[in-house]
C-alpha cells in the first residue's frame, strides 16, 4: 500500500497520523462486508474509481471548462475532463455532456437554472408516488422557487397515470415536463412524455438518477434519444463515484454549461471528474452490460420471491433494479421492517407506497434494490434465499440484534456474504 507512484490512497500514512478517521474507514468497510446491502440507490464502486477519487486532482481549481479555465495549471485536469465528456457522449449516444455537477441534486438545480425562471411551472412526479425531493417538493429549492404541479400513479396499476400526465400538461402548460424518480419499479414510456411535451411546446427532462446504469449497460431503453435533457447521478446502478452529470441535445449545450458553471457551482471536483471518466470506461465493457442485465434478473426474482412470502410488490413486480413492497398484508410497518432487517444484517429502507395511509416517518412499505448484491456476484438463487431471510426477519424478527431470530438470520447472512464478499481480499 505504501509504495505508490502518486500521493493518494495511502492508508498506512493516514493510520499513522489519524487513527480515529483511519479506524472509521476500516470499520465502514467491515460494515459493508458484514451485511447485505439492499438499498436501491447504493452500489460498490471499483478500486479503480476509488483510486481516482483519492488522488491529487482533488487539489486543482479549474473553474470553467477545458481550454477555457479561469485558473492556470489546468493542462492535466483538462485531459481528464475531456476524456470524461467524450466517454459520456459515446456511452449514452448524446450530443453533449456536462460532467461537472457535484451530485444528482446539483445536476437538477442546473437543469432548473437552464430552462426555468423563478415562478415558472414544472410538471413532475409527486414524491409520495415515487418522485424526488428536487422535483418540486415544498422543502426543496425546487418547490420554494418554482411552481410545481404533480402527477402520480394510477390506483389500480400503481404505475404512472399517463392520462393524468396529459391532462395536467394541457391544463397547466408547464415550461418543463419531468419524468423519473426514486421509487419507480417500472419502465417509463419516454415516447409518451415526448409527444405530450411537443403538443404544448414544453422541454422534456428525464431525471435518470436511479436507472441510468441500466441504460449504460443496454439493459433497458434509453431516454437520451427522446429527452431534451437527461440528468443523473453516477453512484447508483452506474457504480461510479458519488456525483452527477447531465447529457443534452446540442441546442441546449450552452444553456446547460452556463447553468452548471457559473450559475450554480464554483470549481469542479476534478478528482471526481476523473473517477467519472474511469466509471464510464467500465460501463462500456461487456462485463458491465452483463452486470446490468443480472441486476434486473435479480430484482425480478427478489420481488417475486418476496411476493411468495406475502410481501407484495407494488405494480406486481419490477422491470428495473428496484422493487417497492407493501407490508400491510403481513401487518408490519416500514419502520419496524427496516429495524428488524437491520438487526439481522440486512440493510434496506422503509418507503412510502402510493396512497400510503401511514405518515412518511413510519411508512407502509420498503424499497429494495439489487445493485450491491449483484456487484458481489450473487445470482437469482441467492435472491430466493435473501427473500426468505428478509421474510423471516420482517415477519418473525425483532429490532433487537440479540433476539433469537435476528441471530439466526444473521448467521445465514454471514454465510452468504462470506461466499460473495464485497471488496474481496486479493
Ligand X SMILES: *Cc1c(COP(=O)(O)O)cnc(C)c1O
The binder of ligand X chosen from 60, 210, 300, 312 (CB under 6 A): 210
Q: Nearest Cα to 239, choosing from 24, 107, 367, 423? A: 423
Cα 329 to Cα 214, 218, 324, 326, distances in angstroms: 31, 35, 14, 7
Count how many residues are written for the chain. 426
Q: DSSP E strands: which ranges in 208-297?
A: 229-233, 244-248
The count of residues interacting with ligand X (CB under 6 A) is 15
> 240 near 275, Cβ under 8 Å?
yes
Report the largest interatomic distance among the alpha carbons of the chain, rounded to a whole angstrom. Answer: 64
The catalytic position among 33, 242, 385, 407 is 242
The closest residue (CB) to ligand X is: 104
The grid coordinates listed for 267 are 470549481
Whether 61 sits among the annotated catalytic residues: the reply is: yes
Is 42 or 158 the residue whose CB approaches ligand X more closely? 42
Is 142 or 364 the residue whose CB approaches ligand X more closely? 142
Beta carbon of residue 267, minimum distance to ligand X (angstroms, whole number): 18
User: What is the CB neighbour count within 10 angstroms for residue 271?
Assistant: 22
Is 102 or 175 the residue whose CB approaches ligand X more closely? 102
Is 182 or 294 the residue whose CB approaches ligand X more closely? 182
CA–CA separation, 245 and 232 (whole Å): 6
**Beta-bridge mates of residue 176:** 122, 203
Interface segment toward ligand X; rule CB under 6 A; list 56-64, 68-76, 175-183, 317-325: 175-183
Count the alpha carbons within 13 Å of 53 in the hemisphere toward its beta carbon. 13
> 247 near 224, Cβ under 8 Å?
yes
Is 41 or 43 the residue whose CB approaches ligand X more closely? 41
Contact call for residue 354 and ligand X (CB under 6 A): no
Contact call for residue 338 and ligand X (CB under 6 A): no
Look up residue 5 and give its DSSP letter.
S
Whether 404 sits among the annotated catalytic residues: the reply is: no
The grid coordinates listed for 57 are 486532482
Whether 242 sits among the annotated catalytic residues: the reply is: yes
The catalytic position among 10, 33, 63, 281 is 63
Contact call for residue 182 and ligand X (CB under 6 A): yes
Contact call for residue 134 and ligand X (CB under 6 A): yes
Whether 314 sits among the annotated catalytic residues: the reply is: no
3-state secondary structure of 271: helix
Is 232 or 291 the residue whose CB approaches ligand X more closely? 232
3-state secondary structure of 346: strand
Residue-wise burial string across 209-220, b where 16 or more C-beta atoms lie within 10 A, e elsewhere: bbbbbbbbbebb
Beta carbon of residue 68, minimum distance to ligand X (angstroms, whole number): 26
The binder of ligand X chosen from 81, 207, 338, 382 (CB under 6 A): 207
Contact call for residue 103 and ligand X (CB under 6 A): yes
In the stretch 24-53, what mask flags binding to ligand X with x, by CB under 6 A?
A: -----------------x------------
Q: Nearest Cα to 213, choosing from 298, 106, 276, 289? A: 289
Interface segment toward ligand X; rule CB under 6 A; list 66-74, 98-106, 216-224, 277-285: 98-106
Interface segment toward ligand X; rule CB under 6 A; list 20-28, 88-96, 103-111, 340-348: 103-111
CA–CA separation, 409 and 400 (whole Å): 12
Look up residue 284 and give its DSSP letter.
T
CA–CA separation, 365 and 319 (whole Å): 18
Interface segment toward ligand X; rule CB under 6 A; list 82-90, 99-107, 335-343, 386-394: 99-107
Contact call for residue 132 and ligand X (CB under 6 A): yes
The binder of ligand X chosen from 57, 209, 339, 373 (CB under 6 A): 209
Beta carbon of residue 41, minimum distance to ligand X (angstroms, whole number): 5
Sequence-distant (6+) residues with CB within 8 A of 75 are none
Interface segment toward ligand X; rule CB under 6 A; list 166-174, 202-210, 393-401, 415-423: 202-210
**Beta-bridge mates of residue 178:** 205
The binder of ligand X chosen from 105, 110, 123, 224 (CB under 6 A): 105
Residues that bind ligand X in the complex, under the rule CB under 6 A: 41, 103-105, 108, 132, 134, 180-182, 207, 209-210, 233, 244
Active site residues: 61, 63, 207, 233, 236, 242
Amino acid at each position: 500500500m505504501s509504495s505508490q507512484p502518486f500521493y493518494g490512497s495511502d492508508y498506512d500514512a493516514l493510520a499513522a497520523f489519524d487513527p480515529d478517521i483511519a479506524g472509521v474507514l476500516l470499520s465502514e468497510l467491515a460494515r459493508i462486508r458484514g451485511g447485505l446491502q439492499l438499498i436501491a440507490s447504493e452500489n460498490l464502486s471499483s478500486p479503480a474509481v476509488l483510486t481516482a477519487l483519492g488522488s491529487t486532482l482533488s487539489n486543482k481549481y479549474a473553474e470553467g471548462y477545458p481550454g477555457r479555465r479561469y485558473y492556470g495549471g489546468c493542462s492535466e485536469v483538462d485531459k481528464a475532463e475531456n476524456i470524461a465528456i467524450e466517454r459520456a457522449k459515446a456511452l449514452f449516444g448524446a450530443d453533449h455532456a456536462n460532467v461537472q455537477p457535484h451530485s444528482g441534486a446539483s445536476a437538477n438545480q442546473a437543469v432548473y437554472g437552464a430552462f426555468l425562471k423563478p415562478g415558472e411551472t414544472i410538471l413532475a412526479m409527486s414524491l409520495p408516488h415515487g418522485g424526488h425531493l428536487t422535483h418540486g417538493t415544498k422543502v426543496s429549492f425546487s418547490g420554494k422557487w418554482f411552481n410545481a404541479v404533480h402527477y402520480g400513479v394510477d390506483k389500480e396499476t400503481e404505475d404512472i397515470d399517463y392520462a393524468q400526465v396529459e391532462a395536467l400538461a394541457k391544463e397547466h402548460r408547464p415550461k418543463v415536463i419531468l419524468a423519473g424518480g426514486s421509487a419507480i419499479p417500472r419502465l417509463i414510456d419516454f415516447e409518451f412524455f415526448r409527444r405530450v411535451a411537443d403538443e404544448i411546446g414544453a422541454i422534456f427532462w428525464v431525471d435518470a438518477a436511479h436507472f441510468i446504469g441500466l441504460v449504460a449497460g443496454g439493459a433497458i431503453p434509453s431516454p437520451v434519444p427522446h429527452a431534451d435533457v437527461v440528468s443523473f447521478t453516477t453512484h447508483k446502478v452506474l457504480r461510479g463515484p458519488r456525483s452527477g452529470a447531465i447529457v443534452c441535445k446540442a441546442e441546449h449545450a450552452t444553456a446547460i454549461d452556463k447553468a452548471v458553471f457559473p450559475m450554480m457551482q464554483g470549481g469542479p471536483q476534478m478528482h471526481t471528474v476523473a473517477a467519472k471518466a474511469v466509471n464510464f470506461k467500465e460501463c462500456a465493457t461487456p462485463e458491465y452490460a452483463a452486470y446490468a442485465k443480472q441486476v434486473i434478473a435479480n430484482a425480478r426474482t427478489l420481488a417475486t420471491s418476496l411476493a411468495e412470502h406475502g410481501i407484495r410488490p407494488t405494480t406486481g413486480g419490477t422491470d428495473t433494479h428496484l422493487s417497492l413492497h407493501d407490508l400491510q398484508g403481513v401487518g408490519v410497518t416500514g419502520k419496524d421492517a427496516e429495524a428488524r432487517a437491520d438487526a439481522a444484517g440486512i440493510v434496506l429502507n422503509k418507503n412510502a407506497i402510493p396512497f400510503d395511509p401511514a405518515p412518511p416517518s413510519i411508512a407502509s412499505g420498503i424499497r429494495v434494490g439489487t445493485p450491491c448484491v449483484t456487484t458481489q456476484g450473487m445470482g437469482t438463487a441467492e435472491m430466493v434465499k435473501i427473500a426468505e431471510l428478509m421474510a423471516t426477519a420482517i415477519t418473525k424478527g425483532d429490532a433487537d440484534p440479540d433476539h433469537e431470530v435476528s441471530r439466526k438470520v444473521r448467521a445465514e447472512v454471514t454465510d452468504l456474504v462470506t461466499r460473495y464478499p464485497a471488496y474481496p481480499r486479493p
